[in-house]
Structure 1
């Protein structure tokens, strides 16, 4: 999953203004503090307006503690994480922690809402296609390009996947492990981490801040000078649309792009975004989807879901759900953009 750049360089041509009609609170001070680091295989950055009496160390340690907690819960790359332990567990129902239960239930609700376009049970397929902890696809017999899974391998991994087959025991706060199920929450984990860090900063009195993890962002409040957190949207390479900035005032943004991560073999590129309905990387012409929403988790999840849905179902779903989304679609004449009415309304506010 990609996102937006937290820094905008040079001129821009389009501006999006949130139309939620909220009035910003007064920032807690006139200072701006920057923090940065690495987490979840990517980078993070925070800019905040500190309240009086708090030290930089307070915020640094709070941010790092929240990110470490997310990894300990949901990383499928960390063998001691709660998710990795569940994936390795034998058959049976296994009690999980409240934070794990809460996020898994949110993921299941989104899977239900999107008919599986976002599916937290695709770990076996993620591994098979070379995007999980086992590592990239092995090279073919010529040793020149990544090999592709056989049809029966895809079918076997699909048989071990599927959100509708995951059973939850709500009284025991337990999740059923069939002995073959592999959860993968990476489709929403970064967005969730952005929200968690944002909530922690707000609780510490930094009511004005911008949080970014791996290109997914959430802005709250405004800067000391009253200006919003301006963020340049990431665009697919070769996109025909002008550079676009959004005022992230109580708003989050995420972008899913087929160029962000993948591999190429024999002239065909395979994206890391998988369509669980067929067990294969997307191949529907969608180059990218950008979603603006109240929370980074929802923006993250919907960017993935709309990408999987494709250039017809995706815009129709987003329009019906009043999601602010922009699609960049590959076609015979090149790249074209499709925006939903909610996205267009933000453009109209910035015109």
Structure 2
């Protein structure tokens, strides 16, 4: 029996009469993006004919701006310049960069440092940064001493924000990595851009993280199946379809980016509290939220915390979260109470 997850509120506004779905897409952040928009021929936005080429360029520009501000792969980005800045210096940040960093630091505090944007040195050490990657020839995994040395160098170095002056403090040597938040923020930017152009019915996606609003021309919401990790046995958790009507969804897991070391999986998600890749039997965590940035950040944070601490925090925060644990050759599902309340069976 298929299970469906429904939004708490549903708008009565249908898609425009005579609308069809127009598809857009491209590349950004080392992955692909797409947008499906319900548009009428000759649709108008702010009194101007809505041309597909203009929307395509505008959507791409939203993500290009995120890359210019927050990419740790681009040395010329604002984040790259911040990471190279001298000790004890303040730096004015673009509005988007400041918003993402502020939210990431809030999640770090709420999780006791389990998901920390200041842990870029550890990400790089394990071969998941822009250089010295685990999939390049000559990579050697760090030793326990290597990890201890990097963590000792990070101790006591705190990035501070001055929201009034829109700036951040570089204590020296801190390497920001916003990859657990920036992609979701990019999804939100696509949605906000479409809303500003008068588009109310759409599904946008960046690298598998999605946000939807309104309806398709046939009156149905934007249904998407939740991602589920591969499992060699028969113990699958079962399909869940989500109606992305004013909702976003993000999944973090140990099965996309990883390498094997001594028969042990080393996922790209690092626990800054011990400097090691996660090893808590969680295959994935999915979070459904009104904000793609929040879903992105919390799916990563709950993955690091693990099934018990992660579920407890999800309950305290009222998060709709789905945990999938590896058990033998199958998967076991754990749902937060908020997730369960939104779930129905067909």
Same fold per TM (> 0.5)?
Answer: yes
Task: Tell me if structure 2 keeps the 8 A contact 1:74–1:185.
Answer: yes
Q: Given the alignment, which residue of 215, 226, 232 partners 1:222?
A: 215
Structure 2 counterpart of 1:182, from 175, 198, 208:
175
SS in 2 for 1:32: strand
Residue 158 of structure 2 corresponds to residue 165 of structure 1? yes
Alignment correspondent of 1:37: 26
Contact 1:233 1:243 in 2 (8 A): yes
1:111 to 108, 112, 115: 108
Q: What's 1:73 paired with?
A: 69
Q: Report the secondary structure of 1:34's partner residue.
A: strand
> Using the alignment, how far apart are the partners of 1:97 and 1:105 within structure 2?
12
Deviates more, 1:160-169 or 1:294-303: 160-169
User: Which residues in structure 2 correspond to 1:275-290 (within 5 Å)?
Assistant: 275-290=271-286
Contact 2:252–2:286 under 8 Å retained in 1: yes
Give matches, 1:34-183, under 5 Å.
34-50=23-39, 51-52=43-44, 53-91=49-87, 92-137=89-134, 147-161=140-154, 165-183=158-176
Q: 2:230 aligns with which of 220, 230, 237?
A: 237
Residue 20 of structure 2 aligns to a residue whose secondary structure is coil
Distance 1:173 1:333, change over 3 A: same
Q: Deviations for 1:102-146, whole angstroms, at most 9, x for unmatched residues?
A: 221111112122222221101101110000011314889xx7xx5
Q: What is the Cα deviation at residue 21 of structure 1?
A: 2.1
226, 244, 247: which is aligned to 2:243? 247
Deviations 1:40-65 (A, max 9, x none): 00011100013433110121011011
* 1:273-313, Cα deviation, whole Å (9 max, x unpaired): 01111111000111101111101111111100110010111
Q: What is residue 257 of structure 1 aligned with on the other side?
A: 253
RMSD: 2.0
Report the counterpart of residue 314 of structure 1 in structure 2.
Answer: 310
Aligned to 1:149, what secondary structure does the other structure show?
A: coil
User: 2-side partners of 1:259 and 1:184: how far apart?
Assistant: 20
Q: Which whole-Å CA distance do the structure 1 matches of 2:152 and 2:312 have between them? A: 29
Deviations 1:78-108 (A, max 9, x none): 1110001111111222222222222211111
Secondary structure of the residue aligned to 1:180 is coil
Residues 333 and 60 of structure 1, relative CA distance in 2, 3 Å threshold: closer
Shift of 1:67: 0.9
| Counterpart position of 1:212 | 205
**Aligned partner of residue 293 in structure 2, secondary structure:** helix
Q: Given the alignment, which residue of 9, 33, 46 partners 1:21?
A: 9
Using structure 1 for the length normalisation, give the TM-score. 0.90
Counterparts of 1:304 and 1:99 in 2: how far apart (Å)? 20
TM-score when normalising by structure 2: 0.91
> Any conservation in 1 of the 2:34–2:204 contact (CA below 8 Å)?
yes
Structure 2: segments with no counterpart, 5+ residues: none
The offset of 1:232, in angstroms, is 1.1
The answer for unaligned runs of 5 or more in structure 1 is: 1-11
**Are 2:157 and 2:172, in contact at CA under 8 Å, matched by a contact in 1?**
no
Q: Which of 292, 296, 319 does residue 292 from structure 2 map onto?
A: 296
CA shift in 2, pair 1:207/1:139, >3 Å? closer
Query: Alpha-carbon deviation of 1:163?
Result: 9.1
1-side partners of 2:104 and 2:311: how far apart? 21
The answer for the alignment partner of 1:336 in structure 2 is 332
Larger mean CA deviation between 117-126 and 96-105 belongs to 96-105
